[in-house]
């Protein structure tokens, strides 16, 4: 992982997870990519691993956005965002530990993302997103509660 000598000004204590909350809009996904890339670089992860983590974040966000758009379409001809997207947010937690990088995506008010994705055409944007997530993660688990869904993605390093 990181063969650089320890910086005397940097604590060797593990850093707590980083959380980011973004509006449910595609233009904010780039911010998530920047954050996960910065964490990967901070922790001395290989550039290829950092690139994979950026793809994981992108596809996880895109899957939630695709489901939201499909299940709550915008009123025809209004040019407005879908009701489930307008005013909602995604929370992403990034937790880098020795040997594993975990990403949790919290989406309030939605359930059944994985079952919805598995019902999509394999070559559709959402179906392809699920295929990519399965290929790049060691573990892909969805949990639901009364408040919404949590997609937990783990990448073994």
- Here the CATH number for the domain that contains residue 135 is 3.30.565.10
pLDDT of 152: 93
Asked whether residue 5 is assigned to any structural domain, the reply reads no
Domain range spanning residue 26? Answer: 20-71+84-156
| Domain assignment of residue 13, yes or no | no
For residue 103, what pLDDT is reported? 96
Residue 7 lies in a domain: no
Res 40: pLDDT: 95
Check residue 71 and give its pLDDT. Answer: 66
How many folded domains does the chain comprise? Answer: 1
- Whether 32 is in a domain gets the answer yes
Q: Return the pLDDT at 65.
A: 83
In this prediction, the residues of the chain whose per-residue pLDDT falls under 50 are 1, 3-5, 8-11, 81-84
Q: Kindly state whether residue 142 falls inside one of the protein's structural domains.
A: yes
Q: Is residue 107 part of a domain?
A: yes
In this structure, is residue 102 part of a structural domain? yes
The model scores a pTM over 0.85: no
Q: Which residue, 30, 20, 112, is CA-closest to 68?
A: 112
Over residues 53-88, the pLDDT tens digits come to 999 999 998 888 888 777 665 555 555 544 445 567
Instruction: Give domain status of residue 43, yes or no.
Output: yes
DSSP secondary structure of the chain? ---SPPPTTS--SPPPPEEEEEES-GGGHHHHHHHHHHHHHHTT--HHHHHHHHHHHHHHHHHHHHHHHHHSPPPTTS-PPPTTTTT-EEEEEEEEETTEEEEEEEEET---HHHHHHTS-TTSHHHHHHHHHHHH-SEEEEEEETTEEEEEEEEE-
């Amino acid at each position: 992982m990181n063969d650089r000598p320890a910086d005397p000004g940097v604590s060797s204590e593990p850093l707590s997870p980083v959380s980011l909350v973004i509006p449910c809009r595609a233009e904010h996904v780039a911010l998530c990519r920047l954050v996960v890339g910065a964490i990967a670089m901070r922790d001395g992860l290989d550039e290829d691993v950092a690139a994979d983590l950026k793809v994981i974040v992108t596809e996880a966000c895109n899957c939630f956005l695709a489901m939201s758009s499909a299940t709550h379409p915008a009123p025809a001809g209004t040019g407005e965002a879908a009701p489930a997207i307008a005013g909602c947010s995604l929370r992403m937690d990034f937790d880098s530990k020795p040997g594993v990088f975990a990403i949790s995506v919290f989406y309030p008010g939605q359930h059944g993302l994985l079952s919805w994705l598995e019902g999509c055409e394999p070559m559709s944007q959402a179906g392809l997103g699920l295929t990519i997530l399965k290929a790049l993660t060691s573990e892909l688990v969805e949990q639901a509660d009364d408040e919404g869904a949590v997609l937990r993605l783990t990448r073994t390093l």
